Structure 1
Amino acid sequence: MRTRSNASDNLDSLRKREENKHDSVVFNSKYIKVTSERLLADSIQLFPLDTGLVNFENYSPLNQPRNPKISLGYPGTAARDLLFSPRKTIGFDEGLHALDAYMVNPQDLNYFNARAPYTLLSLYSTIGGTKEQIFKTLHTQNIKPNWNIGFILNFNGSKGYYSTNNIISQNVSDLTAGIFSWYHSKSKRYNLLANFLFNNLKSPETGSILKDTIFKSANSSFDKTGEPVRLPSSYANWKSTGLYVKQFYYLGRIDSLNKGKTGTANVLPTQRIGYTFYANQRKYNYLQNGLDQYGAFPDYYFTAARSRDSLNVFHLQNDFSYSFYLRGKSGKISKNELKLDLGLTQDFYKVSQFVADSVINQFGRKVIQPDRKQNETFQNITLKGKLGYRFSDRIYLEGDVQQIVQGRNFGDFLYEAKLTLAGGRKTGRILLGAYQQSSSPGMVYTNWISNHFIFNNDFKNQKVTNLSFNYINDALELDLKAEYFLLNDYLYFASQPNGIDAAPQQYGSAINLLKISIGKNLHWRKFNFDNYVVYQKTDNASLLRIPEVYTFSSLYYKAQIFTLKSQFGVNVRYNTPYVAPSYALSIGQFYNGQDVTFTSYPVASVFFKATLERTNIFIQYDYVNQGLFSNGFYTVNRYPQLDRILKFGVAWTFYN
């Protein structure tokens, strides 16, 4: 009896120990794996969550070190790339992209495998005001080991410096919300990616402040928030609502890499069939109340005191694909691996355009109401093909073809080829690329009816030919890229000399552009020096208004302060002077207007950032050198950028 009692006690003790051990598990980022639609294209790939401090202080989409933008002054306002970067798409295009930097699209989302519920809360703001104020929420969790769900909720309530606080239309008000899910069968043969996204972006279009000499000391302002603007009640409101569902199923044998090992695990299919459904409703609205007293517009066509321009686009897409992979029996990525992708995409569009017009109603009164000016439906059928061949684990050749064979944009195409030559970590790798593109003009260039602009043009397709060389060495932290662009029938907006009557135009001759970029990081003990330099040279600088040189450098010192993993440093960005573009209100277009070249000086920011357990924080004094070389700067004609200001950011991470 005593022996049985001891055995029972020992068993109870072991059970209790196991239960206590389970309860004491501390969840961290190792329990969260992340992937994306792009990483799932050819195999199932999962990577650890990145919780580091790299680029944490550069939260604004306007000030990304390798993708800077010019804008109307602060996050949420109309923006355009500072560096030359043509759109690499074909088919129907509205031609409206001024707020693209703030849109969240289905391909932008990450998908997770979360063994513990994961929440990320981020807040970025100016200290002592709401000049910039951005809040982001992400939550995800597995409801089954093979089924993950999550949601995002983002707000931008930035006001900028030059806004009248009691006029709501002069403030940015962005809301982005969405839910997403990733499901895969236990056999990993079937995968489903789904998301529902809603974007509601409100961007002020005030025509800027009246005082164009704001940075001259003799005319500086005591309170810049009270500066009068040309259009106090004028703004653009873009809305996008979309449902995206992507399914694919693996046929035949499934090869696995790193099976049974920790870390990154890839599942490599031998065949795959896929289907994607996408339904999206986009609305581009421009609203103006009050008379144009200061001549911000060239003219009006319907009503002088009120604009209600609206473009509604309903897009329905069905995409079918088949992929075939031929590799050795071992299932490893080795030589003589062949990949063939075939696809067909149907795009259906319904496009309607409205303006507010003065009409006589049934009672004989003159009223202003929406009047539909355009209404059409059409479709495109696109054939897609991709062929890849791996000569060895170091040499890979890939070709990609997209051709619209039927529909409104018949004849559009994108042909691309890539060659990867990979060495070891110390040797680096070389990527050679080339593509040729022919894309139809955007709707705003050819058929546009609004209160202040009406266009009816017949333009040719714009053609882009590109050659590129890219050398990447991870051991040296070196990234060197050279690109050559040949542009034919280039489309752009321009005005009459010194005018504001922006209109689409097409340049018939060829334009050449060379773009060379170098990224190099240096380290000495705890000092770090990260650099990125871009050189752009074109034979038509008056047409392509871009700086010849752009640089971004970050010098920082890593230190351990008690339990804080910290970095102290300074970021400096600079570009050479260039002829600044102007901005056309209500149609969201940067155009070649007055030939104004602003002086250009470095813009420096000092920062401190640190990690404390599950929290990242930073404090940054942006444009700290204001007044040293100049009192302020412009990137777009008439639109002053933010003054020096103290900012902070915090990102809280929770693993429940």
Structure 2
Amino acid sequence: MRSFILICCLLIGVQCAHAQIGQRFGNMGGGGGSTMQRDTGSHAHEPDTITISYRLLGEPTDYKLDSSVADFTASFLRIPASYAFLGNNGSPARNLLFTPFMKPGFDAGYHTFDVYGFNHQNARIYTTTKPYSELQYMIGSQQEQQIGVLHTQNRTDRFNFGFEYNKKYAPGFFRSQATNHDIYRITGRYNSRDKRYNAYLSYFFNKFINGENGGLRVADSVLDNPDYSQRKTVDVNLGNYTATTSGLFSTTMPVKNTNKQSGFMLVQQYDWGKGDTIHVNDTTDYYKFDPVFRVQYTFKMDNNGLEYLDGQPDTFYYANKYRWAFSGDTVRAKHEWRNISNDVSLIQFPIRGNQGHFLSAGARFESIRGTFLDANISFSNLALHGEYRNKTRNQKWDLSAKGEFYFAGQNTGDYNVSGMLSRYLNETLGNVHLFFSNTNREASYIYKYFSSSYDSWYNSTLGKENITQLQFAANNKKLKYNLTVNYYLMENYTYFQNYYTSAQAPALFNLLQVIFSKHFRYRHYNWYADFAFQQVHGDGRINVPTIWTRHRLTYENKIFNNLNLVAGIEGKYNTSYYADDYSPVVGQFVYQTTQRVKYYAPDLAAFVHFRIKSLSAFIRGENLNTFFATNNFAGPAYPYNNFTFRLGLRWWFIN
């Protein structure tokens, strides 16, 4: 309750600071392509009109903010619906639609929380005609809470800054299961008066705190026993006899993993080209500059750390899972990495006025240092990279060819080459997309070395992974469907074969993946259908469900001119398979072939979503299937939560 009162005070304060909270947001009902502006009618100008867009670093495409309320997962949680997490919101997650890591060079290997956090790849560099703020708040069962804050503004037409903060807190239904995450991002953009110099800033800090309970200690059938309807009474493997004290801003967990990630990147560009002064009217001139040649310097510093701590360890669990000659003392593991890189690129723009058509070449020097409980390590890398991109001004063709090669240092021989061709055919046939990528890379460091207070293990036998991806994709706005076909070919795929030992797949194998989405509409009734088919050929050490599907049946209508209503039910289901287990000390998912995980019934949710002017609301009842079936499981011994009620609110403000 105190947390809720604090949030209310925060919202009131922001409202007072923004006098124009009554703005009408026209043209906001669609998806990512909607434009945020007020319907001004016949007036020449309205003070609350706004145009806002953003770009991702290195991409020439402008994106619009998504104000849709049809999909809670995409527009509010911003997590793909195909992700499975270990029962509780914010816990370690993986994509049921297999996506291998295909980035060459050094990688620490901590990716189980990536879906929740910020990074340089998803940094949004905004452009807005007026200061824009956004607030999100969600409250759910078991005192689950989530806060989101966004503010961006152009101080002048040459400088923009943005700030984002997300708080994710979920105590969970089972013991020692709480999550408490803090996620920050700052972005900035500056260009000089003559538009020759440009600078972009990206900074993020992710702090993920995850309570580890090691899964259920007892048989799954205990979940059907009415004596254990209060899930806190069910025995778990870790933190079973130590109380968890948790709150929105302070949480004490008996066993936990703390993952901290931070990154700072500064991109500076200087252009040579041609400029023109465009006469708008008698009092206004606009200076337009088209670059022909660019020198770009990028400085980047990233930090990554994982710490596992169990102050009152369970002797049997560690002896059984990790084969330790266990004495009962505190279990601790800590890894920290720092990567500093300097990159210089030369970029040529062949066609004046089209910055989506360019040729670039550059070199990057990386310095990497790691700190562990029992050792330190440092090394460096030197890489060359280049790219040709041609996104035509008529938006019909998009062609890309790029490559990156590490020719000196620890990761010598790592490379990635990729090519992409996209063509918009017409309104009836939509857009088709072809993509190819091949990556040769050293296995992530977590597979090569790990140190804890009880043991340190090494694996010096790992060869370089080689992964090829072929993709065909088609999307059609008129017929409302998306189709993606992926074919992966993998050699030396690296995985954890148990709780502490890594290995590589013994032979070449492949994976076929077909993903199809279709929107059916009849008057105000809608059916959003998502299907995925996956099949592994060969001795592949990955486990995926053959079929994954999600369906949303909704009633959608616009009432009283400004109430956009979406009400319906949602169901998710996947076929049974050997779902990955999870190793708490290492913080990684583990390949296993001993226990199949199946859905006893589809994950069901009922919801009412609506938007009135600048306010969106999401009212949901989730895990309805637990009223008539056993809890579904994300992995061996990791059940999903019981019935959960969620109320989410989202406001937009213009000043």
Are residues 1:534 and 2:553 paired?
Answer: no
- 2:548 pairs with one of 538, 547, 550: 550
**Offset at residue 338 of structure 1 (A):** 6.0
Counterparts of 2:56 and 2:477 in 1: how far apart (Å)?
25
Paired residues for 1:58-137 under 5 Å: 64-65=80-81, 68-127=82-141, 129-130=142-143, 132-137=144-149
1:420 corresponds to which residue? 422
Counterparts of 1:593 and 1:180 in 2: how far apart (Å)?
41
- Taking structure 1 as reference, are residues 396 and 217 closer, same or farther at Cα in structure 2, changes over 3 Å only? closer
Are residues 1:578 and 2:577 paired?
Answer: yes
Q: For the Cα contact (< 8 Å) 2:274–2:290, is it kept in 1?
A: no
Deviations 1:168-227 (A, max 9, x none): xx4212112232211123443322111332222111112123233255423651321243
Deviates more, 1:510-519 or 1:105-114: 105-114
Counterparts of 2:539 and 2:518 in 1: how far apart (Å)?
28
Paired residues for 1:389-428 under 5 Å: 394-428=396-430
- Taking structure 1 as reference, are residues 453 and 399 closer, same or farther at Cα in structure 2, changes over 3 Å only? farther
2:607 corresponds to which residue? 607
The one-letter code sitting in structure 1 at the alignment partner of 2:625 is: N
The one-letter code sitting in structure 2 at the alignment partner of 1:248 is: Q
1:200 corresponds to which residue? 207
Q: For the Cα contact (< 8 Å) 2:509–2:539, is it kept in 1?
A: no
Counterparts of 1:411 and 1:100 in 2: how far apart (Å)?
26
2:294 corresponds to which residue? 272
Paired residues for 1:445-484 under 5 Å: 445-452=447-454, 454-457=456-459, 458-484=461-487
The one-letter code sitting in structure 2 at the alignment partner of 1:144 is: T
1:353 corresponds to which residue? 372
Q: For the Cα contact (< 8 Å) 1:254–1:270, is it kept in 2?
A: no
The one-letter code sitting in structure 2 at the alignment partner of 1:352 is: T
**What's the secondary structure of 1:295's corresponding residue?**
helix
2:362 corresponds to which residue? 343
Larger radius of gyration: 1
Counterparts of 1:286 and 1:451 in 2: how far apart (Å)?
10
1:645 corresponds to which residue? 644
Deviations 1:221-273 (A, max 9, x none): 1321243432212111111233221122332136999x99xxxx998643222
**What's the secondary structure of 2:236's corresponding residue?**
coil
Counterparts of 2:616 and 2:76 in 1: how far apart (Å)?
16
The one-letter code sitting in structure 2 at the alignment partner of 1:607 is: F
Q: For the Cα contact (< 8 Å) 1:445–1:455, is it kept in 2?
A: no
- Taking structure 1 as reference, are residues 396 and 100 closer, same or farther at Cα in structure 2, changes over 3 Å only? closer
1:444 corresponds to which residue? 446
* Structure 2 residue runs without a partner (length 5+): 1-43, 240-253, 282-286
The one-letter code sitting in structure 2 at the alignment partner of 1:123 is: Y
**What's the secondary structure of 1:471's corresponding residue?**
strand
Q: Percent identity?
A: 23
**Offset at residue 31 of structure 1 (A):** 1.3
Q: For the Cα contact (< 8 Å) 1:502–1:593, is it kept in 2?
A: no
* Structure 1 residue runs without a partner (length 5+): 1-23, 165-169, 355-372, 496-500
2:181 corresponds to which residue? 174
Deviates more, 1:541-550 or 1:584-593: 541-550
Q: For the Cα contact (< 8 Å) 2:508–2:538, is it kept in 1?
A: no
Counterparts of 1:84 and 1:379 in 2: how far apart (Å)?
31
Counterparts of 1:541 and 1:604 in 2: how far apart (Å)?
34
Are residues 1:138 and 2:150 paired?
Answer: yes
Deviates more, 1:439-448 or 1:535-544: 535-544
Paired residues for 1:608-623 under 5 Å: 608-623=608-623
- Taking structure 1 as reference, are residues 556 and 176 closer, same or farther at Cα in structure 2, changes over 3 Å only? same
Counterparts of 2:408 and 2:258 in 1: how far apart (Å)?
33
Deviates more, 1:449-458 or 1:297-306: 297-306
- Taking structure 1 as reference, are residues 73 and 59 closer, same or farther at Cα in structure 2, changes over 3 Å only? farther
Deviations 1:387-439 (A, max 9, x none): 24579964444211110111100000101111223212222222111111111
- Taking structure 1 as reference, are residues 275 and 214 closer, same or farther at Cα in structure 2, changes over 3 Å only? farther
Counterparts of 1:93 and 1:312 in 2: how far apart (Å)?
12
- Taking structure 1 as reference, are residues 214 and 200 closer, same or farther at Cα in structure 2, changes over 3 Å only? farther
Counterparts of 1:62 and 1:426 in 2: how far apart (Å)?
30
Deviations 1:575-621 (A, max 9, x none): 11111221112101111235111332321211101111211001011
- Taking structure 1 as reference, are residues 289 and 638 closer, same or farther at Cα in structure 2, changes over 3 Å only? same
What is the TM-score of this pair, normalised by structure 1? 0.83
**Offset at residue 103 of structure 1 (A):** 2.2
Deviates more, 1:608-617 or 1:189-198: 189-198
The one-letter code sitting in structure 2 at the alignment partner of 1:602 is: P
1:316 corresponds to which residue? 340
2:626 corresponds to which residue? 626
Counterparts of 1:149 and 1:478 in 2: how far apart (Å)?
36
- 1:286 pairs with one of 305, 308, 314: 308
Counterparts of 2:419 and 2:73 in 1: how far apart (Å)?
36
2:350 corresponds to which residue? 326
2:269 corresponds to which residue? 248
The one-letter code sitting in structure 1 at the alignment partner of 2:359 is: L
Q: For the Cα contact (< 8 Å) 2:70–2:609, is it kept in 1?
A: no
Counterparts of 1:223 and 1:216 in 2: how far apart (Å)?
10
Counterparts of 2:276 and 2:364 in 1: how far apart (Å)?
28
Q: For the Cα contact (< 8 Å) 1:62–1:79, is it kept in 2?
A: no
Q: For the Cα contact (< 8 Å) 2:306–2:334, is it kept in 1?
A: yes
Counterparts of 2:74 and 2:579 in 1: how far apart (Å)?
24
Paired residues for 1:29-44 under 5 Å: 30-38=49-57, 41-42=59-60
- Taking structure 1 as reference, are residues 54 and 402 closer, same or farther at Cα in structure 2, changes over 3 Å only? farther
Instruction: Give the aligned length.
Output: 586
